[in-house]
Amino acid sequence: MTQNILLKPFETPYNSAPFSKINTADFFSAFKQTIEDSKAEIDTIVNNTEKPTFKNTIEALEFAGEQLDRISSIFFNLNSAETNDAIQKIAQEVSPLLSEFSNDITLNEALFKRIKSVYNSKYHLSLTIEQQTLLDKKYKSFSRNGANLPEDKKAKLREIDKELSKLKLKFGENILAETNKFEMLITDENELSGLPEGAMEAAKQLAESKKKEGWLFTLDYPSYIPFVTYADNRILRKKITLAAGSKGFNNDALDNQDIVLKITKLRFERANLLGYKTHAHFVLEERMAKTPEKVLGFSNELLEKAKPAAEKEFQNLQNFAKDLDGIEQLEKWDGHYYSEKLKQKLFSLDDELLKPYFKLENVIDGAFTVANKLFDLNFEEINNIDKYHEDVLTYKVTDNNGGLAAIFYADFFPRTGKRNGAWMTSYKPQSIKNGLDDRPHISIVCNFTKPTKSKPSLLTFNEVTTLFHEFGHALHGMLANTTYPSLSGTSVFWDFVELPSQVMENWCYEKDALSLFAKHYETGEVIPMDLVKKIKESSTFLQGMQTLRQISFGLLDMGWHGQDPSKISNVKAYEVEAFSNTTLYPEVAENCMSTSFSHIFQGGYSSGYYSYKWAEVLDADAFEYFKEVGIFNKEVAIKFKDHVLSQGGTEDPMVLYKRFRGKEPQPEALLRRAGLLE
3-class DSSP state for residue 385? coil
pLDDT, averaged across the chain: 96
Q: What CATH number does the domain located at 5-148 have?
A: 1.20.1050.40
pLDDT at 658 exceeding the cut of 90: yes
pLDDT at 1 exceeding the cut of 70: no
pLDDT at 2 exceeding the cut of 70: no
User: Annotated catalytic, 269?
Assistant: no
Give residues with Cβ within 8 angstroms of 627, minimum separation 6: none
d(CA 613, CA 75): 31
Q: What is the pLDDT of residue 69?
A: 97
The predicted-structure confidence for 221-262, as pLDDT tens digits, reads as follows 999 999 999 999 999 999 999 999 999 999 999 999 999 999
The predicted-structure confidence for 439-484, as pLDDT tens digits, reads as follows 999 999 999 989 989 999 999 999 999 999 999 999 999 999 999 9
CA distances from 414 to 176, 181, 357 (A): 12, 14, 22
d(CA 283, CA 290): 8
pLDDT (average), residues 90-104: 95
Q: Is the dihedral of CA 173, 179, 180, 181 positive or negative?
A: positive
Widest pairwise Cα distance in the chain: 82
Give residues with Cβ within 8 angstroms of 460, minimum separation 6: 225, 351, 354, 355, 358, 449
User: Domains of the chain: which residue ranges?
Assistant: 5-148, 182-245
Return the closest-CA partner of residue 565 out of 267, 160, 282.
267
- Helix (H) or strand (E) holding 431, with range, is strand 431-433
Give residues with Cβ within 8 angstroms of 375, minimum separation 6: 475, 479, 637, 641, 645
Q: Please state, for a pLDDT cut of 70, what percent of the chain lies above it.
A: 100
pLDDT (average), residues 577-585: 96
Which one is catalytic: 59, 82, 463, 470?
Answer: 470
Q: What is the pLDDT of residue 81?
A: 96
With bands split at pLDDT 50, 70 and 90, how would you rate the model's confidence at 675?
Answer: confident
Name the burial class of residue 561, with classes exposed (0-12), middle (13-18) and buried (19+) by CB atoms within 10 angstroms of its CB.
buried
Query: Do strands 436-438 and 378-381 pair parallel, antiparallel, or not at all (unpaired)?
Result: unpaired
The predicted-structure confidence for 384-439, as pLDDT tens digits, reads as follows 999 999 999 999 999 999 999 999 999 999 999 999 899 999 999 999 999 999 99
Q: What is the pLDDT of residue 678?
A: 62
The predicted-structure confidence for 493-540, as pLDDT tens digits, reads as follows 988 999 999 999 999 999 999 999 999 999 999 999 999 999 989 999
The Cβ-side half-sphere exposure at 29, using a 13 Å CA radius, reads 11
d(CA 169, CA 83): 12
Q: What is the pLDDT of residue 177?
A: 96
The predicted-structure confidence for 603-621, as pLDDT tens digits, reads as follows 889 999 999 999 999 999 9
Is the separation of the CB atoms in 284 and 295 below 8 Å? yes
Q: What is the pLDDT of residue 515?
A: 96
Going by the DSSP 8-state scheme, the letter that residue 108 receives in this structure is -
d(CA 289, CA 284): 7
d(CA 203, CA 192): 10
Please give the model's pTM, rounded to 2 decimal places. 0.91
With bands split at pLDDT 50, 70 and 90, how would you rate the model's confidence at 676?
Answer: confident
The Cβ-side half-sphere exposure at 172, using a 13 Å CA radius, reads 27
pLDDT at 353 exceeding the cut of 70: yes
Return the closest-CA partner of residue 161 out of 27, 287, 277, 263.
263
Q: Please state, for a pLDDT cut of 90, what percent of the chain lies above it.
A: 95
